[in-house]
């Protein structure tokens, strides 16, 4: 049998092509834009209705809490085997929910495992107010209150234990804020939207971050005002209403979500924008964040000539983005900022210390920033969900979770070391090498031993050996992929 030149050339070509593809991917010559993804860590749970907030309890309690916007708090075991939602609180009879209202905020007291106190933020119909004062919208109230778990059932809140902290009248159905947050000082930070009232006036709670001591009570209040709140010593008080001493920072539009990084003490507030910019602000005591004079770094549409208006010096956002897709995947864009966390987990060491955030439209990015100047150095696209994202959560290990509002599911940040497409190409590359070597080797052996290669049987054997080895590779591939999935799951 004559081994044709064409056949040898073809074998060499296949060998070369396979080597180039394989070596290219092995040493990362082929650029990868996308290496992050998400999966459902609690895939056995029933579908949620309208989840808007997710919170992990302590490592001891090992519980996860999720809020249904319509007025239910569920808990479940922090385990991938969790398959049951426990109803901790059902106040659907009190809650009035609409597209951004309802039961939207929840925080556990820092000593929750001992005292069983948790705090909620929700909207209700205000039946005592004259409806014509709110037309065409329903008259609403924003309620911040405390619930305590039942003594006999530690995983259920007693609905009768409700203690009112704040009641704030609303006249429009927009911009309520929603985040409740405890920081290391033990105080409760309440993030309230401007409710179309602007955030600049210090005589009301709209567009503010409030700071309350909820471990004490004072005359007529189920909290006290910390004496180091920025307006505490100013003339005027809560009786003359010149200033509200609860205010910690002001000038927000819709501070829907906020987070606190214990390591740096940075307090991040995601402020949902109007027409132009979605903002991330680093909040400091007593500072003004611009609304309703400015949106992002520009005059708002309400004060187009804001340079001519006198207002307090404002803090520029830590970061902002527009609603327009620039075509560069790493430049954030979307419809409404959802907020985020400084990543302190261990699975993704390259993200450590970066601020990871989501937009409601489903995109997730990370910001790498300078800790001294608080300037953002770079932005990186992580992934995009099919679901709208309503909230982000962090577990006791510092790993990140995302609440799928429209799909009713919870996602976890995960990493594909190797993308599916890449896997296939690599597989093709190695298969090509193996096939070429085996097939070529069989021919070479046949030639060497002077065996007639025309024998159909010999051809079948060499093909069989080729595909057998390819099959073993496929098996190894599947096992390593599963192992990767397990590692990053």
Positions in 183-222 near Ca ion (CB under 5 A): none
Q: How far is the CB of 289 from Ca ion (least distance, A)?
A: 4
Closer by beta carbon to Ca ion, 157 or else 252: 252
Beta bridge pairs of residue 319: 280
Stretch that binds Ca ion, among 282-290, 347-355, 394-402, 456-464 (CB under 5 A): 282-290
Q: How far is the CB of 142 from Ca ion (least distance, A)?
A: 21
CA distance 418 to 188: 43
What mask of x and - would describe binding to Ca ion in positions 240 to 279, judged by CB under 5 A?
Answer: ----------------------------------------
Closer by beta carbon to Ca ion, 253 or else 412: 253
Token pair listed for 435? 């096939």
Contact between 170 and 142 under an 8 Å Cβ cutoff? The reply is: yes
Q: Which residue from 29, 14, 40 is spatially nearest to 402, judged by alpha carbons?
A: 40
Q: How far is the CB of 150 from Ca ion (least distance, A)?
A: 42
CA distance 443 to 4: 11
| Closest residue to Ca ion using C-beta atoms | 290
The DSSP bridge pattern shows strands 51-56 and 63-68 to be antiparallel
CA angle 66, 72, 73 (to 5 degrees): 35
Contact flag: residue 178 with Ca ion (CB under 5 A): no
Q: How far is the CB of 249 from Ca ion (least distance, A)?
A: 11
Closer by beta carbon to Ca ion, 163 or else 376: 376
**H/E element holding 421?**
helix 420-448
Token pair listed for 417? 């070391």
Closer by beta carbon to Ca ion, 177 or else 290: 290
Q: Which residue from 105, 98, 68, 53 is spatially nearest to 391, judged by alpha carbons?
A: 53
Closer by beta carbon to Ca ion, 41 or else 290: 290
Q: Sheet with 355-359: list strands edge to edge.
A: 337-342, 355-359, 363-369, 376-384
Among 157, 289, 319, 343, binds Ca ion (CB under 5 A): 289
Closer by beta carbon to Ca ion, 47 or else 285: 285
Q: How far is the CB of 319 from Ca ion (least distance, A)?
A: 11
Q: How far is the CB of 58 from Ca ion (least distance, A)?
A: 34
Closer by beta carbon to Ca ion, 73 or else 280: 280
Contact flag: residue 290 with Ca ion (CB under 5 A): yes
Closer by beta carbon to Ca ion, 63 or else 281: 281
**What are the b/e assignments for 172-198, b being 16+ CB within 10 Å?**
ebbbbbbbbbbeeeebbbbbbbbbbbb
Contact flag: residue 339 with Ca ion (CB under 5 A): no
Stretch that binds Ca ion, among 227-235, 242-250, 284-292, 411-419 (CB under 5 A): 284-292
Stretch that binds Ca ion, among 186-194, 281-289, 365-373, 397-405 (CB under 5 A): 281-289
Question: Residue 380 in 3-state DSSP?
Answer: strand
Would you call the peptide bond into 136 cis, given omega within 30 degrees of 0 as the criterion? yes
Q: How many chain residues bind Ca ion (CB under 5 A)?
A: 2
CA distance 12 to 58: 60
Positions in 356-415 near Ca ion (CB under 5 A): none
Q: How far is the CB of 226 from Ca ion (least distance, A)?
A: 24
Token pair listed for 329? 């995947």
Q: How far is the CB of 343 from Ca ion (least distance, A)?
A: 24
Give me the residues that bind Ca ion (CB under 5 A), please.
Answer: 289-290
């Amino acid at each position: 049998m004559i081994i044709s030149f064409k056949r040898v050339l073809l074998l060499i070509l296949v060998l070369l092509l396979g080597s180039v593809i394989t070596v290219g991917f092995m040493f990362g010559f082929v650029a990868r834009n996308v290496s992050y993804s998400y999966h459902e860590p609690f895939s056995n749970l029933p579908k949620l209705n309208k989840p808007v907030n997710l919170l992990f309890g302590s490592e001891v309690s090992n519980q996860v809490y999720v809020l249904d916007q319509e007025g239910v708090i569920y808990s479940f075991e922090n385990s991938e085997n969790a398959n049951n939602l426990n109803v901790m609180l059902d106040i659907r009879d009190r809650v009035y929910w609409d597209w951004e209202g309802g039961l939207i905020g929840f925080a556990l007291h820092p000593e929750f495992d001992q005292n069983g106190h948790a705090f909620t933020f929700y909207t209700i119909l205000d039946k005592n107010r004259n409806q014509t004062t709110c037309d065409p919208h329903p008259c609403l109230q924003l309620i911040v209150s405390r619930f305590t778990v039942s003594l006999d059932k530690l995983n259920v809140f007693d609905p009768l234990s409700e203690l009112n902290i704040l009641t704030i009248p609303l006249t429009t159905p927009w911009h309520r804020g929603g985040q409740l947050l405890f920081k290391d000082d033990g105080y409760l930070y309440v993030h309230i939207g401007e409710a179309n009232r602007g955030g600049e006036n210090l005589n009301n709670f709209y567009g503010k971050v409030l700071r309350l001591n909820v471990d004490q009570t004072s005359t007529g209040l189920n909290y006290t005002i910390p004496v180091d709140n920025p307006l505490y010593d100013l003339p005027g008080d809560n009786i003359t209403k010149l200033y509200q001493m609860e205010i910690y920072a002001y000038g927000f539009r819709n501070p829907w979500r906020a987070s606190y990084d214990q390591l740096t003490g940075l307090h991040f507030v995601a402020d949902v924008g109007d027409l132009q910019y979605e903002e991330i602000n680093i909040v400091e005591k007593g500072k003004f964040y611009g609304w309703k004079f400015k949106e992002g770094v520009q005059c708002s549409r309400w004060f187009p000539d804001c340079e001519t208006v006198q207002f307090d010096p404002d803090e520029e956002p830590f970061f902002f983005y527009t609603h327009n897709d620039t075509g560069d995947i790493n430049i954030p864009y979307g419809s409404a900022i959802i907020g985020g966390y400084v990543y302190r987990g261990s699975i993704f060491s390259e993200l450590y210390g970066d601020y990871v955030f989501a937009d409601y439209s489903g995109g997730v990015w990370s910001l790498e920033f300078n800790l001294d100047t608080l300037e953002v150095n770079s932005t990186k696209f992580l992934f995009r969900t099919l679901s709208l994202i309503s909230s982000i959560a962090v577990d006791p290990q510092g790993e990140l979770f995302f609440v799928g509002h429209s799909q009713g599911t919870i996602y976890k940040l995960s990493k594909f070391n190797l993308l599916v497409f890449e896997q296939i190409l690599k597989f093709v590359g190695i298969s090509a090498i193996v096939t070429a070597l085996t097939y070529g080797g069989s021919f070479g052996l046949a030639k060497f031993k002077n065996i007639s290669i025309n024998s159909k049987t010999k051809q079948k054997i060499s093909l069989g050996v080729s595909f057998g080895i390819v099959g073993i590779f496929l098996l190894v591939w599947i096992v390593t992929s599963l192992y990767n999935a397990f590692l990053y799951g």
